Each structure stands twice: as structure tokens, then as C-alpha cells.
Structure 1
Amino acid sequence: MVIEKNNFSSNPLEQFILLGKNVKGAACLELINQVLETPGIYVFGELLDMPSIKEVGNSPNEKYWNTLNLFAYGTYTDYLQNKNKYLQLTPNQTKKLQHLTIVTLATKSKVRYI
């Protein structure tokens, strides 16, 4: 399953959410992989709530669910400390997770200027 860029709506996540309602098995794993790889998608909670995605968390392919959950709620440090729980990240996925980590750290350590 490959999603063409020109098929994206204004919100690229919407296309994946629609596909997520009907995918199973290997197609579900590929969907997770593509979401993690696609630029501009930085929100993953809706996908994690989908029944087809939740099933992955209770399967031999739980690394896919763990990795999606990492992108939603974890940090790059979490990845480095527990690499065996997650998929091996591509360079694009690594950069995306690092960006998400910076945002997470920035929101946790707000500095007030007077």
C-alpha cells in the first residue's frame, strides 16, 4: 500500500485515518510505517485509538505499535534506552522523533522572560 502525495487532503493524517479503519495484517503494519515516515504528521493519538492499530499492540508485531506509541508519547532518549522494543528507525523517522523530542522538552521546560 503506497499513498501518493497528490492524494493527500490538506491534513495528511486524514488519509491514514481513513485507511486505518479498514486495514488488517501486513497492510496495517505498512500504514504505521508510512505514517512514521511521512513528513508533516506529528500527531498519532487518533491512530493509536483505532481497533486495527490496537490489535498490533497485542501481536507478534508489537514493535510497530510500540514505535507508533513512542512517536506519540515518548522521546528519542526513550528510543535509545530501549531499542529492542522498537522498530529500527530510518533516517527520516529518527529526525522526526528528534523534532518531537525537542517540542516535548520545550513544553516541559518553559522559561519566562521578565
Structure 2
Amino acid sequence: MTNTAGASGSGSGASSSPSSASLARIEPYLLLAKSARGAAAARIIHEATAAPGCYVFAELADTPAVNDLSADTATHGKTLALLELFMYGTLADYQARPDAYPPLSPAHLAKLRQLTLVTLASQSRMLSYRHLVDALQLSGDEAGSSSSTPNATLAPTMVRKLEDAIIEAMYSGLVAGKLDQKKLRFHVDSVMGRDVAGQEELKGMEEQLREWYVVLYNDSTMLVL
């Protein structure tokens, strides 16, 4: 598996490289992978994808230990799918094909929710609370079941739950922005880059940077005027 750590998505949110702290968190698993093979390598993937602070996995995916698992997809196919899910995927990807992955622990689901927020923030500078509640699968009976439900119908407890999730992601260095509690939306200033799947995503990153440059240029021009 050959991958690159970088920005994910092709929207207008500004993406930055993964933090040094995030890259450092994967180091122990890279060291373990040097001598691991088979089931031991698969176990490293399970542990790394659930570990706090580990958000980029390209280096782990490129280790001989992980590459060797591809020779036995009957045994390790779901584990490899798990790794790719945490490299590029979202909660929606998991929900679409839950049987394609091994069972996810609460820690896995919590992190996948954070990574889903990162992907959404890389695609748009303005995210409505309603959209985020649905995409992060925070909704329950109190929040309504339809994504077309207006923001005004979100229960206060659901608003707090969403804002807590966003604030946690901000403290973790995954996103930066402002919570608009009046209009119930999240304004994205910057977002951590996720692993990049291939050339198509690299092209998307290039377009994303162009769009962001235009936004910054227009903002600076308005300030001068």
C-alpha cells in the first residue's frame, strides 16, 4: 500500500499537514511492525486505529508487515479494509458496508467520528449543525430523523452534544474554526490533512489550494478597501 499523508477532499476548507504530535503517536506501532508478521501485524493495525492521537496511517500502511497481509486477504482482508477506512473513510462508508470490517470498538467509532468531521471540514468552510449531526451520526429521536429537518428542530441537548464533539476535535488539533450558536453552524478556518489515496486526491488538493488562495486574496483585498 503506497500512500501520502496530506489533505483530503476537494472543497474549500484550508488543510494543513498532520501535526508532529499525531505523527509521533504512530511511531511505537511502526517500531512494533518491524518485527511483526501475520496475526501480530493485524493486531497492530487494530490497536493503532483505535489509539488516541493517531490520525494518519500512511507510514504504517507502507511497512512490509502490512504489505505482507495482502497475500492472505481471506484471513486479513477485513483488517486491511479497517486500515483503509481510517486512512480515507468516514462513518458513512462504514455504515454502508459494516460487514466488510471487523467489529469496531467504542474507541474506533469515536475516532472515526472525528475523522469524518475532518473530511467534512476539508470539503466546506461552512457546515450546518443539522448536516453535522446527521453525518457524525449523533442524531436520535430527540434530533429528528431527516437530514432535511431545519436546524431549529435540533434539541438543545443535541446541539450541546455536537458542539462538545467539535470542541474536542479542536482541542485535538484536528480542526480550527468558530461555532456560530445563533445560526447553528460551524465556520472552518483550517483542518488537519488526512492520508491521501492517490493521484486523484492529489489533484483535488491542488484545486483546493487554488480555491483557498482565491478566498484569502479576496478577503485581504476587502480589508485594504
Q: Is the pair's TM-score, using the shorter chain for normalization, greater than 0.5?
A: yes
CA distance in 2, matches of 1:57, 1:66: 11
Asked if 1:107 is matched to 2:109, the reply is no
- 1:70 matched to which residue of 2? 85
Q: Where do residues 75-114 of structure 1 align in structure 2 (5 Å cutoff)?
A: 75-111=90-126
Which residue identity is paired with 1:105? L
Provide the alpha-carbon RMSD of the alignment: 1.9
Q: 1:12 aligned to 2:25?
A: yes
Match of 1:44 in 2: 57
8 Å CA contact 1:47–1:53 kept in 2: the answer is yes
Higher helix residue share: 1
The residue type equivalent to 1:88 in the other structure is P
- Distance in structure 2 (CA, Å) of the matches to 1:12 and 1:77: 26
**TM-score scaled by length of structure 1:** 0.83
AA partner of residue 108 (structure 2): Q
Unaligned runs of 5+ in 2: 1-22, 127-214, 220-225
Q: Which has the higher contact order (CA 8 A, sep 6+)?
A: 2
SS of the residue aligned with 1:52? helix
Structure 1 gap segments, 5+ residues each: 1-9
More strand by share: 2
C-alpha distance after superposition, 1:31-68 (max 9, x if no partner)? 11110121010011111111211222342211111101
How many equivalent residue pairs?
Answer: 105
Decide which structure has the larger Cα Rg and report it: 2
CA–CA distance in 2 between the matches of 1:71 and 1:35? 10
TM-score normalized with structure 2 length: 0.44
Q: CA deviation at 1:78?
A: 0.3
